Amino acid sequence: MKTTVNLPDGSSRRYDRPVTALEVARDISPRLAEAAVGAEIDGRPCDLSASLDGGSHQFRVITESDRAGLEILRHSAAHVLAQAVVRLYGPGVQYAIGPALMNDFRYGFYYDFDLPNPIGQEDLERIEAEMKRIVSEDLPVVRREVGQEDLFAAMGAAGQSTYKAEMIRGFIDEHLRRGGEVKDFRASLYQQGEFVDLCRGPHLPSTGRLKAFKLLTAAGAYWRGSEANKMLTRIYGVAFFKPAELAEHLHRIEEARKRDHRVIGKQLGLFLISDRVGPGLPLWMPKGAVIRMQLQSWLQGELLRRGYQIVITPHIGKLDLYRTSGHYPYYKDSQYPPIDMGQEGSYLLKPMNCPHHILVYKAQQHSYRDLPVRLAEFGTVYRLEQSGELSGLHRVRGFTQDDAHIFCSPEQLEVEIASCVDLVKLVLETLALSQYSVRLGLRGPGEDKYVGDAEHWTLAEENIRNVVKKLGMNYTEGVGEAVFYGPKIDFVVKDCLGRDWQLGTIQVDYNLPERFELEYIGADNVPHRPVMIHRAPFGSLERFIGILIEHFGGAFPLWLAPVQVAVLPVSEKSNPYAAEVAGRLARADIRAELDDSSEKIGAKIRSASLQKVPYMAVIGQREVESRTVAVRCRTEGDAGAMKIDDFIAALRREIDAKSTASLVAARAS
């Protein structure tokens, strides 16, 4: 039988006999065959041993430099992990599910185990050593397809009569639901040495191909993710083709651990989460409040320049208001329960600021000449996140949005969206978060998840797509990621460690104006319905600052630093002049802290560095006499002596420029 293999470059090869993927790869080039870890036949990833027998097929070799290749490697690492655990902890071990992970910052694969005795972090080294042994044995990985009887028999013989048997039964049910019959049900087994697993594959051709891997964590995980099921032990690891890639990855994880905002937040005294107040309800300490106030007043200035008006509204409102807006019941499950006031009805902690701003708009009659009306508020909202999901500032129950609602005519809409995009870009670029991508959140299936008619939705989706296209931005689309009242543009930002964060959102809404019957009088003297934009460049200030703490590792740019200058007298004799310097700085609106303790100067410098203070003004006898300061910079160290006025001028310049680089050090001699 003739087989035609069509290659990505458009060429094709013909064979008169069945060939394996590996043979085709060798035919193309021996070097390609060496780097091959799998193949894609008609778009489906498969093993190198997969055979092509007759017909015409699209064919591509998956190599080590491929993302699909990495996925194969990691999945194979999970199998080697399971094999090692069974070898070490005996035949009573049941292995459940073990996939590759491709989008996790930390982990590359895991396997869930039901173990006769609990294991912990300390066992990982032993398991890793056993995995290395399995790699050095270079066991061939063999796939076979079998019917249900052989499946149950093979997995049963391996002692896997609970989880794997349940999975097989699930696959068979699925097969029957699709109209198949039990007798033609087939699934694949992968065998390496004594270890066998029910698995779709594909896998590396042999265990020897696994080189750079590391086990990272052992944690509890429920079978199928449900609390009603048994708690299993999940072992996480990561794998790469090159040892250098693994080393770099481990370095990044370590760096992330050091930058954990919960740890830095405590060290620098930025915020506090106290059980006496409640989980997910952060208290801003004085130094953290400085950062927040700086961000807020900067953005507020920017908003006023852009024609926004500031409003202030209460933290709660009547339940009926949120019924009209649809927040109740659409957000019901993520809200604190209503406060029952008897005769007066029920109140809700506000989950969103929109209904309040809508009432501000509605309080006056608007003509087309007033539009757009842009109402902004640093508004605090409350959402009842699951307690297990709460994490420092990243996930909280009470947070402040840099929220605004723009009411405009349909003709003004795209210009307004574009200017929101511009504002988000300004925010991100000012904070050295300039690596971002744009994602459109569109409506998905599920009538009950969205309000409003299809026509408005289509129009709103067209509006946001038009804007990002016109601005020449690269974007991806996510179906089902819209808010209940409209589609949105999200900015996904990469921090300095390469982690993705969703920040900055712009949402288009034809629906709430409809539900609240908003109007403006048009040039034709009759009422028209405005469109709304909801947008928040920071999103939540809590989460945003949590991300900034990690992005900067606590070393904030000068304009945000809680203490900008530490004034450090060398001895008691220089205290009076040091106090004078601190006073001069304070009068120039520079946040200076005088350390006139009896500590040695070395200890004072160390403590200011630990607090990540950008500049130190060291003052000894020489500085007193010459009326100067010896400047030390957080990043560059000793920056030489400066006259106070020059120092202040240089600081002001760096602050006003919101520079993330040290400009003062460059000025000093």
What is the set of active-site residues?
354, 383, 401, 403, 405, 488, 534
16-50 CB burial, b ≥16 within 10 A, e <16: eeebbbbbbbbebeeeebebbbbbbbeeebbbbbb
Query: Least separation, in Å, of the C-beta of 175 and Zn ion?
Result: 19
Which residues, numbered 66-95, are part of the site for Zn ion (CB under 5 A)?
none
Query: Least separation, in Å, of the C-beta of 397 and Zn ion?
Result: 19
Which residue, among 17, 16, 57, has the nearest Cα to 39 in the 3D structure?
57
Backbone angles phi, psi at 623, to 5 degrees: -70, -40
Give the nearer residue to Zn ion in terms of CB position, either 191 or 628: 191
Residue 534 interacts with Zn ion (CB under 5 A): yes or no: yes
Which among 115-123, 191-199, 279-287, 328-336 is the span making contact with Zn ion, rule CB under 5 A?
Answer: 191-199
Q: How many residues line the site for Zn ion (CB under 5 A)? A: 3
Half-sphere exposure of residue 191, counting CA atoms within 13 Å on the CB side?
Answer: 13
Sole residue written with tokens 């989950």: 351
| Cα 149 from Cα 169, distance rounded (Å) | 11
Backbone angles phi, psi at 350, to 5 degrees: -75, 125
Q: Binding pattern to Zn ion, positions 201-240, x when CB under 5 A?
A: ----------------------------------------
Give the nearer residue to Zn ion in terms of CB position, either 199 or 631: 199
Give the nearer residue to Zn ion in terms of CB position, either 354 or 413: 354
Query: Least separation, in Å, of the C-beta of 313 and Zn ion?
Result: 12
Residue 141 interacts with Zn ion (CB under 5 A): yes or no: no
Residue 383 interacts with Zn ion (CB under 5 A): yes or no: no
Tokens in use for 300? Answer: 């507020």
Which among 115-123, 323-331, 347-355, 607-615 is the span making contact with Zn ion, rule CB under 5 A?
Answer: 347-355
Give the nearer residue to Zn ion in terms of CB position, either 97 or 273: 97
Query: Least separation, in Å, of the C-beta of 205 and Zn ion?
Result: 15
Sole residue written with tokens 């790869």: 25
Query: Least separation, in Å, of the C-beta of 197 and Zn ion?
Result: 5
Give the nearer residue to Zn ion in terms of CB position, either 534 or 604: 534
Which residues, numbered 400-439, are part of the site for Zn ion (CB under 5 A)?
none
Which among 205-213, 308-316, 346-354, 468-476 is the span making contact with Zn ion, rule CB under 5 A?
Answer: 346-354
Give the nearer residue to Zn ion in terms of CB position, either 534 or 632: 534
Query: Least separation, in Å, of the C-beta of 199 and Zn ion?
Result: 3
| Cα 266 from Cα 264, distance rounded (Å) | 5
Query: Per 3-state DSSP, what percentage of the chain is helix, strand, and coil (rounded to 5)?
Result: 40, 30, 35
Which among 2-10, 332-340, 352-360, 656-664 is the span making contact with Zn ion, rule CB under 5 A?
Answer: 352-360
Query: Least separation, in Å, of the C-beta of 74 and Zn ion?
Result: 10
Which among 27-35, 338-346, 455-463, 527-535 is the span making contact with Zn ion, rule CB under 5 A?
Answer: 527-535
| Cα 470 from Cα 414, distance rounded (Å) | 10
| Cα 111 from Cα 7, distance rounded (Å) | 35
Give the nearer residue to Zn ion in terms of CB position, either 270 or 381: 381
Give the nearer residue to Zn ion in terms of CB position, either 3 or 192: 192
Query: Least separation, in Å, of the C-beta of 461 and Zn ion?
Result: 18
Which residue, among 387, 479, 606, 624, has the nearest Cα to 616 in the 3D structure?
606
Which among 289-297, 412-420, 534-542, 553-561 is the span making contact with Zn ion, rule CB under 5 A?
Answer: 534-542
Q: What's at 86, amino acid-wise? A: V
| Cα 129 from Cα 317, distance rounded (Å) | 60
Sole residue written with tokens 């070393």: 555
- The widest CA-to-CA distance across the chain, in whole angstroms, is 98
Q: How far is CA 459 from CA 172, 185, 333, 510, 515, in A?
A: 44, 47, 29, 9, 17
Which residues is 391 bridged to in the sheet? Answer: 395
Query: Least separation, in Å, of the C-beta of 445 and Zn ion?
Result: 24
Tally Cβ neighbours within 10 Å of residue 379.
23
Sole residue written with tokens 């937040």: 265
Query: Least separation, in Å, of the C-beta of 85 and Zn ion?
Result: 14
Residue 281 three-state SS: coil
Give the nearer residue to Zn ion in terms of CB position, either 403 or 623: 403
Give the nearer residue to Zn ion in terms of CB position, either 199 or 376: 199
Residue 464 interacts with Zn ion (CB under 5 A): yes or no: no
Q: Binding pattern to Zn ion, positions 306-325, x when CB under 5 A?
A: --------------------
Query: Least separation, in Å, of the C-beta of 84 and Zn ion?
Result: 15
Sole residue written with tokens 């009547």: 318
Half-sphere exposure of residue 210, counting CA atoms within 13 Å on the CB side?
Answer: 32
| Cα 135 from Cα 196, distance rounded (Å) | 16
Give the nearer residue to Zn ion in terms of CB position, either 218 or 354: 354
Packing angle between helix 286-305 and helix 541-551, nearest 10 degrees? 110
The gap from C-alpha 154 to its chain's centroid, in whole angstroms, comes to 41
Cα dihedral 257, 261, 262, 268 in deg (nearest 10): 110
Which among 2-10, 337-345, 351-359, 384-392 is the span making contact with Zn ion, rule CB under 5 A?
Answer: 351-359
Which among 192-200, 314-322, 456-464, 611-619 is the span making contact with Zn ion, rule CB under 5 A?
Answer: 192-200
Which among 112-120, 198-206, 554-562, 653-661 is the span making contact with Zn ion, rule CB under 5 A?
Answer: 198-206
Which helix (H) or strand (E) element contains residue 100?
none
Residue 199 interacts with Zn ion (CB under 5 A): yes or no: yes
User: Angle at the Cα of 131 (from 129 to 135), degrees rounded to 5?
Assistant: 115
Residue 641 three-state SS: strand
Give the nearer residue to Zn ion in terms of CB position, either 83 or 564: 83
Question: CB of 528 within 8 A of CB of 397?
Answer: no
Backbone angles phi, psi at 525, to 5 degrees: 70, 10
Sheet arrangement for strand 44-46: 12-15, 3-6, 55-63, 36-41, 44-46
- Which of 210, 354, 376, 617 is in the footprint of Zn ion by CB under 5 A? 354
Kindly give, in sequence order, each residue whose CB lies less than 8 Å from that of residue 569, ignoring residues fewer than 6 positions away.
575, 577, 578, 594, 595, 596, 619, 620
| Helix (H), strand (E) counts: the chain | 21, 34
Query: Least separation, in Å, of the C-beta of 352 and Zn ion?
Result: 5
Give the binding site for Zn ion (CB under 5 A): 199, 354, 534
